[in-house]
Structure 1
Amino acid sequence: MNGPVKVCAVDPLAVIRSRLVRQGLDGEAFGEVADAVAWLGAVQAQEFAEAKWSLAERVRGATDESVEAAFTRGDILRTHALRPTWHFLSRSDARWILRLTRPRVHALNAYWYRKADLDGALFARADHIVTRALADEEFLTRSELADRLREAGIEATGPRLAYILMHAELEELVCSGPRRGRQHTYALFDERVPTSEYEDRSVESGLQELIYRYLRSHGPATLRDVTTWASLPVRESRIALAELGTRIESVTDDNGTVWHWTGHVASAVPKSEPMTRAFLLPMYDEMTVAYQDLRVVLDTALPRVDFLERAVVIDGTTVGTWKRTLAARSVVVEVTLVRELSLGERSALDVVIERFGRFLGLSASLECSVGT
């Protein structure tokens, strides 16, 4: 995307500022990791280290250790939902979100299931082997589950193993367990996820709730944003939007419609003063991957950005990219800017660098350059 994109006559910068507030990045932060995940509905999490920082930017005083502890306890789960990739879900929301979105994820995976020679009979066998192994040993790594499958006559490596385990996740059989060192483990879903108050929620009710959660936490947004984010059917999503009534509002012009929540966190298009905070958005942050329209506002000096890169954002505007270099007791954050920063912007950047160091429990330093 080259430069700001006009969406429904709405000021692009105001939209991004509003999203920063709605997502818990600017303004009052969340008190607990699970609260942030529940508010957002789901948080993309295939890059685990990146996803932990993504949550920590939204949670008051969170550190790498405190986010990891919430994951270890099972307050948040890492599983496949919404799309064919890992997401964090809150424990209380995992069942109904999986039941709502898994048919679409299975449909998106169908070609790859066939390519890997995976059919219903083989999935049934594999599911039995995997769940029996976890019932015997509680937490097992991917390679350990591959060994159990191979011992039972099912060869499972590479993508084939990935789709076998993803299928088991989607069917509410397994989910994330605590990490063993740096290795992820799987656990039985029923052991990690208690019966939910939303257990008997209908598909229609779940669809409304997920769209409501998305607009409440991610809006202003378009219908294309929400249906792509959660792999939802467009026709049914339009009906759900209409049934949300006064809880949401829309702005429409010749370019289309933008929807937003009517709640108190922030107005849809706030005419606010410039934001003073800087953000080091990680790869796959919800501020970028959760949208098809108006992902971020780019500085006009920035001709192109890969939205899977890490973005430096100040006052809703992407002013550069960043990467980190870890040492035993320190971290160096290298920032490549598209322009020189003002004194106030540089001060805001220094603050978030210090915050990133506290998150990691390391001394943090900044190396800054202006790209050509």
Structure 2
Amino acid sequence: MGAREALSARALNRALLERQLLLCRADLPVVPAVERVLGLNAQDPNLPYLALWNRLSAFTIDDLTVAIEHRELVRSTSMRATQHLLSVADFRLIRPQLAPLLRRVQRTAFGRRTAGADPAALVTEARDLLADGRTLTRPELGRLLARHWPDADPAALGWSVQYLEPVVHPAPSGTWNVRGATPFARADWTGVHREPTLQDACLLIRRYLAAFGPASAADARTWSGLGGLREVFDRLRPELRVFADASGRELFDLPDAPRPDDDAPAPVRLLPEFDATLLAHADRTRMMTADVRRRVCDGAAVAATVLVDGTVAATWTTKTTADTVTLTVRPFRPLSPTDHAAIEGEATNLLTFTHPTTRHRVDLMPITDD
């Protein structure tokens, strides 16, 4: 076997940005765009909107809200046991693959607090409570379930359902600025399958590589939370290209997937919290140094970040007062006057999108060392 082609961190960076629509805003409808990037983190309802604003050339808040209201996109517990927004087709593909992971999460997080409630019986009762299109909030569902298991914690019963049973959180939940108790509804209408198949696992890995490759089995496990993916990669090996990173680690990719030149220009982008571009690989050096990763990924939190020349150069936050919204940028490395101007321009555009009737201000802080 000949030596594998080595890909630099910069080459991997440009491939990832291209596939995540971050090298150039795309002229795509919302649903194909969400499928192209293989879902959007939706732990806060505004995150998918901010993610698509960074990726699409003519995106409006109503574009995404209508797709959610029309059930073209669904919000549900998904990769890494966190809330994501997916197309219906991708929900059907992904949710069965994640079922073993989500059952383990339920046992770990809520098993002791739901002792005595058999998981299968809990699912049956929850499905009955949500029958005929009924929607209940998580607290409402938990209280009703507690009538059958009075010794269990009602909150833990409600939380358990989203890990044990495919449920969706229908609109207006998950739409712009709509927060509050999470509603649950049965997902039967999506056609989601009950049991995962190896064929679907192979398709999932192909989709993952299309959105995040080149990548390793460990990278795919980090993105999804799933184990046992080495077997799937080995099964797919004959149809994949195999590369190596700078350390010799084996990376896989689809043969015809885009891999732009290292010197492809990468414009400034202001990614929202939990953007998958930063979370889809075990080795994240294609996007940020180990030191920056420690400051961006703090426990379960993942900060909103500023990309300069394709890599994380800063974090950003916003604060709204009575008459002004201020976006504050905190750099990790020296930035040129050209970078400053690009960041200020992109930040102003973002504030125009999020707060069109409020006065804007952008503050670029000195470099932070902690």
Same fold (TM over 0.5): yes
Query: Is the partner of 1:87 in helix, strand or coil?
Result: strand
Match in the other structure for 1:290: 280
How far apart in 2 are the matches of 1:306 and 1:70? Answer: 31
How far, CA to CA, are the matches of 2:293 and 2:282 in structure 1? 18
Displacement of 1:214: 0.9
Partner of 2:183: 185
CA pair 330-34 structure 1, distance change in 2 beyond 3 A: farther
Residues 149 and 156 in structure 1, CA contact (< 8 A), matched pair in contact too: no
Instruction: Report whether the alignment pairs 1:348 with 2:346.
Output: no
Give distance in 2, aligned partners of 1:31 and 1:273: 21
Q: Which amino acid aligns with 1:189?
A: A
- The size of the alignment, in residue pairs, is 352
Distance in 1 (alpha carbons) for counterparts of 2:185 and 2:294: 42
Shift in CA distance, 354/73, structure 1 to aligned 2, threshold 3 Å? farther
Q: Aligned to 2:46, what secondary structure does the other structure show?
A: helix
Who is 1:261 aligned against? 254
Map of 1:337 onto structure 2: 331
The 3 A distance-change label for structure 1 pair 240 and 20 is same
Compared CA separation, residues 96 and 304, structure 1 to 2 (3 A): closer
User: What amino acid does structure 2 have at the position aligned with 1:104?
Assistant: L
Partner of residue 237 from structure 1, selected from 232, 235, 239: 232
Aligned-partner Cα distance in 1 for 2:184–2:253: 37
Secondary structure, in 3 states, of the residue corresponding to 2:55?
coil
Q: Which residue of 1 aligns with 2:366?
A: 370
Structure 2 residue runs of 5 or longer lacking an equivalent are: none
User: How is 1:109-120 mapped onto 2 (pairs within 5 angstroms)?
Assistant: 109-118=106-115
**2:311 — aligned with what?**
317
Deviation, 1:337, is 1.5
> Deviation at 1:91?
0.7
Q: Distance in 2 between matches of 1:30 and 1:329?
A: 34
What per-residue deviation string (whole Å, max 9, x for no partner) do you get for residues 18-45 of structure 1? 2111111222425222212222333333
Q: 1: distance between equivalents of 2:114 and 2:143? A: 19
For residue 99 of structure 2, what is the aligned residue in structure 1? 102
2:291 & 2:338 partners in 1: Cα distance?
A: 19
Q: Does 1:280 align with 2:275?
A: no
Matched AA of 1:353? A
- C-alpha distance 212-39 of structure 1, shift in aligned 2 (>3 A): same
| Residue of structure 1 in register with 2:262 after alignment | 271
The reply to whether residue 85 of structure 1 matches residue 78 of structure 2 is no
How has the CA–CA distance of structure 1 residues 296 and 370 changed in structure 2, closer, same or farther, with 3 Å as cutoff?
Answer: farther
- Provide closer, same or farther for how the CA distance between residues 124 and 79 of structure 1 changes in structure 2, counting only shifts above 3 A: same
> Does structure 1 residue 37 correspond to structure 2 residue 34?
yes
Q: CA separation in 1, counterparts of 2:41 and 2:252? A: 22
Distance in 1 (alpha carbons) for counterparts of 2:290 and 2:296: 15
Runs of 4+ in 1 over 6 A off after TM superposition: 199-202
Residues 18-75 of structure 1, C-alpha deviation per residue, up to 9 Å, x if partnerless?
Answer: 2111111222425222212222333333233234312332233223443233223222
Q: Percent identity?
A: 23
In the aligned structure 2, how far is the partner of 1:232 from the partner of 1:355? Answer: 41
Q: How does 1:167-186 map to 2 (within 5 A)?
A: 167-168=164-165, 172=166, 174-179=167-172, 181-183=178-180, 184-186=182-184
Query: Quick check: 2:114–2:153 contact (8 Å CA) kept in 1?
Result: no
Residues 137 and 219 (structure 1), Cα distance of their counterparts in 2 relative to 1, 3 Å cut: closer
After TM superposition, the structure 1 = structure 2 runs for residues 133-172 of structure 1, keeping only pairs within 5 Å, are: 133-135=129-131, 138-154=134-150, 155-168=152-165, 172=166
Residues 288 and 296, structure 1, Cα contact 8 Å, conserved in 2 = no
- Please list, as runs of the form range in 1=range in 2, the aligned pairs for 1:46-85 lying within 5 A after superposition: 46-85=43-82
Partner residue in 2 for 1:126: 122
TM-score by length of 2: 0.82
User: d(CA) in 1 for partners of 2:333 and 2:244?
Assistant: 34
8 Å contact from structure 2 (residues 21, 55) kept in 1: yes
For residues 100 and 162 of structure 2, the distance between their equivalents in structure 1, rounded to whole angstroms, comes to 16
The 5 A counterparts of 1:194-233 are 195=191, 203-230=197-224, 231-233=226-228
Hey, what's the Cα distance between the residues in 1 that align with 2:290 and 2:197? Answer: 44
Q: Secondary structure at the match of 1:341?
A: coil
- Equivalent residue of 2:278, what SS? helix
SS in 2 for 1:93: helix
